[in-house]
Amino acid sequence: MTAPPVIEYRDVRKRFGDFTALDGVSLTIARREVVCLIGPSGSGKSTLLRCTNGLEAIDDGSILLDGKVLPTDARGVRLMRRRMGMVFQNFELFPHRTVLANVLIGPVTVLRLPRAEAEARARTLLDKVGLADKAASYPASLSGGQQQRVAIARALAMEPEVMLFDEPTSALDPETIGEVLGVMKRLAEEGMTMIVVTHEMSFARRVADRVAVFERGRIIEEGPPAQIFDAPTVERTRDFLSHLGWSG
C-alpha cells in the first residue's frame, strides 16, 4: 500500500452512555482503496462511519483526513462533509422532491452551482446509475434498489473524494440488491475511495481491497479478503463468518 492515506483513524473511542460503541479503533484508508467493514450488529461499524463525517462526535482518539485532524467548528465540518459522500441504509431520499431535484439539491444549495450546470451533472449521474428515465418521478414510486441508486447519484453529485456506505443493501429486497452492488462495483473500478459497512460477504470478497472485522467496538482482524475469508487467523472471525453460512 504505497498510496498516501486519505483517512486515518487513530485509537478512536466513542461511548453512548454506558455502551462503548468504539473501543480504540485504528485503521488507515488509502486513496482509491475499497475497505469493507464487517462484523455483527452493534459492533461499531456504522458508528465509525458516522463519526467519519461528523454525524457523531468522537470521545477520544483522532480521525485524520489528508493528514489533518477533522474540524469540529460548524463551517469546517460543512467543508469536510462536501468531500465525503454518504449513502444510508434507509436511502433517506427527500420524498417531497423529484429524483432529479434530489440529485440537484447538493450542488445547488451547498456548492451554489448554476441551475443548468447542476442539472446537467445530475442527469449524467442518473444516467450512470441507470435511472435517466426516472428523473421526473418521486422517490415513493421507485423500488428500494432504484431509490438507493438515486441516493448514490445524489452523493456523487457533490464530487466527493471518499464515499461512505452504511449498510447500503440491508433494507433492500433480495432481487434489487444486485443492481445497487453493481453500481458500487463500477464506482470502485473507477478508482473511488470507498468505506463500505456491509453484510454482503460476496461483495466484500470480490470488490474490497481490504476487509476489517469488527467486534465489540474493536477491529479484531484486518487484511485482504483472501486472508479474511479463506484463512482467517482470528477464531472470532471464523465464528462470525460461519454464522453467516460463509464456507469460503
107 or 232: whose CB is closer to other proteins? 107
Closest approach of Cβ 10 to other proteins, in Å? 23
Q: Which residue has the cell 442539472?
A: 119
d(CA 118, CA 140): 23
Q: Is residue 36 within 8 Å of 11, Cβ to Cβ?
A: no
Closest approach of Cβ 19 to other proteins, in Å? 18
20 or 89: whose CB is closer to other proteins? 89
104 or 183: whose CB is closer to other proteins? 104
Question: Strand pairing partners for 194?
Answer: 34, 163
Closest approach of Cβ 198 to other proteins, in Å? 18
Grid cell listed for 114: 448554476
Closest approach of Cβ 131 to other proteins, in Å? 18
d(CA 169, CA 167): 6
Cα radius of gyration rounded to whole Å, the chain: 18
Grid cell listed for 74: 460548524
Grid cell listed for 98: 423529484
83 or 216: whose CB is closer to other proteins? 83
Q: What residue ranges bind other proteins (CB under 8 A)? A: 53, 55, 74, 78-79, 81-82, 84-86, 88, 90, 92-96, 105-106, 109-110, 140, 154-155, 158
